[in-house]
Structure 1
């Protein structure tokens, strides 16, 4: 569809005057008339009622077409603006888990933005195994997640202790049976929790589940169940259950960053360093 003709059509709609539309479009009235005729032939409808001595007015079909014309022109402007800005802007495609996005990432992004305010970061959240697949497919520049083993592009591996996480108002007087909440398919952390409780003769039971980490955090924040998380991921309103509250110690989990081998980019290298320091600096 001819964008120039659409612009002329909108001008006539707004002025209801072919001569005024021509002045607005810096052209002649015959050109405006030609544009309108061309559009009417294309859509097979009369868009304006007009004629000698008659006031120009939109037909019902013209009113409907006006909404489409404005949408087409707005989308065209958006596409041009996006392409112009993206051509001048560097982008980093970062994949991470929801848990890390809600805990470690905000501090790291704030530090990164101070040095690279013009670099745009596109963040994708998914499970670690899914992120590994997307990284291997070249869809991500960086993947910050639970360690997926020694594989191409691994930049660092940092251990973070696993801890029991509870809400601020969780009542620790829960007796021998410990209420737990985990991801629906969170097999590893669930196993770590239950095995640790078995070692001290206590019983854990799955009080709630959620397919999304945000749902797990909601149950924990509500104070109705405990979960197991990397220590770096526990931020208010969640708290770490102290060792003297009757729960066993847990092992550590490895967090890793993977990077595509696409040459040296100072912005990506800076983000790598910030993410690693963010994990290391958590108390």
Structure 2
């Protein structure tokens, strides 16, 4: 992985991926005790940053590729399905049966075949490998893939430019984190383009394997059997490719509760007029509710996605 891969991914994405805005609201600044800038990736194509990695990975495949298999809780699947549809390639997405209905329907809408599995009983990696071999498909995993990381890193190129436009040269950049593809890509981009901006991962409590792994200096697994409303970032351990990048370029990780994620969703809707899913709101939750663990006069929170079922969004607004 290197910055040249991220810049190449940005070139291939020109005209196909949105430059999402950096939003702010005075009330959020007061709550956080500092200036808060929110990178609204929920406004990206397919409703999340995953459109970036999906586009980068699919457009790097040979022209004669027979088709694609993605493994996803929903956002990555939609990103890959959109890219595959634009490139005229068949796409199969392996998704947990308990994924939000909005994500399953969104993946179908891009023309992908959705294959469901039991998140608690089935081995997703084994299922994916077997399905890819049986059908002769190119496997694009959700985070541990060089081109996926490069695509997510284009978010960091935009943050570097937008922070400079806002006069912010030093700040923590809080990134919602599952397997670490977005965090690793942004961290690599910022190390090259804006070294005064430091990435810090944000995860749900009980699923803070990346934070604990960075602290321990080696990958650590989450305890089995845990649950969180943040379905998009329920990964058990950092990725093989992402962890060295996270270890090299990120500061200490943060963790928030499900209730804090729901509160952040409501505040984002009220003050920024954007819709976030729980996993896409944890970075803003950390900016607002972990203010004593953050240094500096400004903080940047990457709101990574907004693909939420209406019932969960209603719960957030009622919280």
Question: Looking at CA atoms only, which structure, 1 or 2, has the larger radius of gyration?
Answer: 1
TM-score range relative to shorter protein: under 0.3
Q: TM-score if structure 2 supplies the norm length?
A: 0.20
Q: TM-score, normalised by structure 1?
A: 0.22
Higher share in strand:
1
